[in-house]
A and B are shown apart, each in its own frame.
Chain A
Amino acid sequence: MLKYFIKRLINIIPVLLVVSILAFAFVHLLPGDPARMMAGEDADPATVEMLRQELGLNDPLPVQYFTYMGKVLTGDLGKSLRTDLPVYDEIALRYGPTMYLAMAGLLWSVLIGVFAGAVAAIYSGKWQDYTAMFVSVSGISIPQFWLGLLLIQLFAVYLGWLPVAGYTGKLSELVLPSITLGAMVAAIMARFTLSAFLDVLDEEYISTARAKGVRESIVMWKHAFRNALIPVITMIGLQFGFLLGGSVVVETVFAWPGLGRYMIEAVAVRDYPVLQALLLLYSFHFVFINLVVDMVYAVINPEIRYD
């Protein structure tokens, strides 16, 4: 098994290489000219041309790619076309806030989501089930921007308990954005836990355990819960991957200086080096998280074999 994981780790490198090519091609295929966007809406043509030259945008694409990769391999992600600041610094600056928000959102949404899902499964068909369902579906179907603005109106403007928006490192600033972000994730977690639980509860070993007179709570938490975890963990991994990319909507509504908003700003002006670096980072997140998820599978259910 160790061999399998080492192999997987090594596999990340070619994946990232492929991603780098895709990301590069993709970003350059987007319609729009970064030089034009950098120069401003009332740009004069000489400035645009000067920028095109300086940014190397007039070189053939393969040349641009190899120049770029050459730098990346030496640890230089280039400079943001928009701000002229090093992309590495710009991303590092925004990684913290996004990570902070993602963890907070994920933490409470997984706790509540899994709890609600398990309750719904155990009390299948009863009012607890319907309540948990209704609440969780609400989480998916209320648009985030709406929820965010409603929370701001209530807790920040009307009650005055919490800051409206922004991030300066205070815990209080985290409350509203993480609730908005987590609502959707909690809903997804609840739905998944519910279905995973129901599947497991039908398995024979549960009935066997019950027949043997094992206490119901032990049946639930020890036998059922553990086995229901696999799809739930897949989902947690996926959701975390998405959250690490930064939520565009939540970061915009709450003026959160994270990666999601950065990406939107970069797309708007076609900031190639930033977009490429972000795509590499996002891909790395997913490849890495999926690797961890697969490892967790193996820990939970050692019977899964890897060829």
Chain B
Amino acid sequence: MLFKRLLPLLLLALLVSSPAYAAGKDIIYASDSTAKSLDPHNTSDTYSGSIERTMLQGLMGFDTNLNIVPVLAESYSYNDTATEFTFKLRKGIKFHDGTPFNAEAVRVNIARMMTGKYKRSSLMKPVKEFKVIDDHTVKFILKEPFGAFVNAVAHPGALIVSPKALEKWGDNISKHPVGTGPYVFDEWVSGSHVRIKRNPDYWGEKAKVDSITFRPVPEGGARLAMLRAGQAQYIDPLPAELAKVAERDGKIDIIRQPSIVARYLIPNTQYKPLADVRVRQAINYALNKEAIIKIAWGGAATLLDSVIPQNLQFYSKQGAWPYDLEKAKALMKEAGYENGFKVVFLTPNASNRLRATEMIKQQLEKIGIKGNIMSMDIASFYNKLESHRVNDPDPMPFLAFGGWSASTGDADWGTRPLFSTAAFPPAMSNFGFFSDKEVDDLIQAGLSSADPQVRRAAYAKLQDVIWEKAPWGYLFVDTIVAGRLKTLKGIVPMADGGFDVQKAELIN
């Protein structure tokens, strides 16, 4: 009886829904992330930063492999000691609200960042003084040599917002971003979507689609289903575990892009057995990295073959630590730990990290390093790592599953916070308390010049020195896997985990 009444309702529901989802000139971009801010100076996540990059532009920027390219600046120059950086600005560009882009606009933005009140204020921390030379030339004078400064200027945290809009909206600019980019802001419904529209007056090559909607779809299976049903044209990430399903579907292109996310095992070097370099080397021989990539990570990674990933500036390839149990056992014996010792495996509880840690545990058991897994949510995980202090009389014997993405794209931020003595917690992220005089000196040397040749030499040496000392169990570098309908061209993932939609185009 009730069913009879419900049936028409259900039928109605089915009718109201239109079965056809033909793609117009609107693109739906489904991602596992949610937009958190559209105020570039106060944005700390890559996803929000990438959405901002569609509407706002910086003096410099990154291409997909994180090479630095000029955007709103025509060119730049610096002095020998890396303390002065001068930028020539492009002429004749207007913000979406009609305000002209000039040195004054840059000044307003830099001044805002230099107040120290925003999440990306740190990018301008090295700056002592900002000078307007003329209407189209600006100069940064730094407190001390900082060779990686151009990376800071290219960072999405240093995008330039219309000064008029900043004046009008203040910190509410987050809901009203106005820039110079190929797309203009349309709508942001927090938690639901961000929509951007084509900018018909863009100064460069104009966008080829009418609008792009960024939608958070946290569940990987649902994201792939949207792509397969044509209800999204691009998904990021495409769950690596499900890549097989996507491959069988003829409508989908799978895009793979090496990222800058390094994954590694952090041993607490304050714990006596782990302080021994031979033990840490044994760990590196005992880890079957290829198997971990294949099984725990769905194949979406490449070997970490230096302490920084390939896509970071000044990367220099090192040798490998091949999977070699015999060598590992011999080193353990040499170090006097033939019978192994107990540890605790710390890991965030995301399913792939849990799987990887489980495999690490399985593999290290073979050289006698045994222990239980302790997994927790990511905030608790960092809290745990940051709670340890140097010279702890009773250090926790942990091996932690670590990950790092140096968002400035520079070797400095890929090494200094992780290996320098000054970076012991709580200051920065040297969670294993690795400390080495030579390493500290080389890290400083890399910053003392802006000359790429000088810096490259310093970082090459640095990577060489750290590699042998095995402060980590080296694992792998994530590969970004995204999915795209074959009817869509031009959207590409970037190595920093972001994306570039400037050349997006629908073809039939």
Contacts and interface: CB of A to CB of B under 8 A. Distances in A.
**Within the complex, are A and B direct neighbours (CB within 8 Å)?**
yes
Interface of A: 30-33, 36-47, 50-51, 54, 82-85, 89-90, 93-94, 108, 111-112, 115, 145, 148-149, 152-153, 156-157, 160-167, 170-175, 252-255, 257, 261-262, 265, 267-270
B386 interface: yes
A255 B174 contact: no
A163 B21 contact: yes
B222 A85 contact: no
B138 to A, nearest CB: 24
B122 A94 contact: no
Given A163-B231, A165-B217, A172-B14, A112 B379 contact: no
Given A41-B403, A44-B122, 18 more contacts: A31-B376, A42-B407, A42-B417, A47-B44, A50-B116, A84-B37, A85-B174, A111-B6, A149-B219, A152-B221, A157-B225, A165-B222, A170-B17, A172-B14, A174-B13, A254-B222, A255-B216, A257-B189
7 contacts: A36-B382, A36-B386, A37-B379, A42-B429, A84-B42, A90-B190, A254-B219
Contacts of B98: none
Contact of A33 (B16, B116, B171, B383): B383
A42 B404 contact: yes
A27 to B, nearest CB: 12
Contact of B406 (A37, A42, A82, A152): A42
A88 to B, nearest CB: 12
Given A93-B189, A253-B219, A172 B16 contact: yes
A160 B19 contact: yes
Nearest to B425: A45
Interface string B444-463: 00000000000000000000
Contacts of B417: 42, 44
Contacts of A261: 191, 218
B115 to A, nearest CB: 10
B342 to A, nearest CB: 24
Contacts of A172: 13-14, 16-18
A267 B36 contact: no
B383 A32 contact: yes
Contact of A257 (B13, B116, B120, B191): B191
Interface in B285-328: none
B395 interface: no
Contacts of A89: 190
Nearest to A150: B221
Interface of B: 2, 6, 13-14, 16-19, 21, 30, 34, 36-37, 39, 42, 44-45, 116-117, 119-122, 125, 171, 174-175, 189-192, 215-219, 221-222, 225-226, 228-229, 231, 376-380, 382-384, 386, 403-407, 413, 417, 426-429
B378 A268 contact: yes
A224 B117 CA distance: 67
Q: Which 3 A-B pairs have the closest CB atoms?
A: A172-B17, A32-B379, A40-B44
Contacts of B221: 149, 152, 253
Contact of A171 (B17, B190, B426): B17
A115 B3 CA distance: 10
Main secondary structure of the interface of A (DSSP, over half): helix
A41 B222 CA distance: 26
Contacts of B16: 170-172
Contacts of A38: 44, 119
B228 A157 contact: yes
A275 B122 CA distance: 28
A77 to B, nearest CB: 15
Contacts of A166: 215, 217, 226, 231
Contact of A46 (B37, B125, B226, B407): B125
Contacts of A30: 379-380
A32 B382 contact: yes
B119 A51 contact: yes
Contacts of B116: 50
Contacts of B413: 42
Contacts, number: 173
B17 A162 contact: yes
Contacts of A173: 17
Given A157-B225, A164-B226, A255 B14 contact: no
A255 B222 contact: yes
Given A93-B191, A161-B19, A83 B37 contact: yes
Contacts of B376: 31
A254 B231 CA distance: 13
B215 A255 contact: yes
A161 B218 CA distance: 22
**Most A CB atoms within 10 A — which of B116, B122, B406?**
B122
A171 B403 CA distance: 42
A90 B191 contact: yes
B18 A164 contact: no
Contacts of A152: 221-222, 225
A39 B44 contact: yes
Contacts of A93: 189-192
Given A43-B44, A164-B225, A262 B191 contact: yes
**Most A CB atoms within 10 A — which of B21, B37, B225?**
B225
A268 B377 contact: yes
Contacts of B380: 30-32
Given A43-B44, A161-B14, A149 B37 contact: no
B222 A50 contact: no
Contacts of B383: 31-33, 36
Contact of B218 (A32, A94, A148, A252): A252
B39 A84 contact: yes
Given A93-B190, A161-B14, A170-B17, A83 B217 contact: no
Contacts of A148: 222
Contact of B229 (A44, A115, A160, A257): A160
Contacts of B122: 44, 46-47
Nearest to B414: A42
B418 to A, nearest CB: 10
A45 B427 contact: yes
B27 to A, nearest CB: 14
B229 A164 contact: yes
Nearest to B39: A84
A165 B226 contact: yes
A50 to B, nearest CB: 6
Contacts of B382: 32-33, 36-37
Nearest to B171: A84
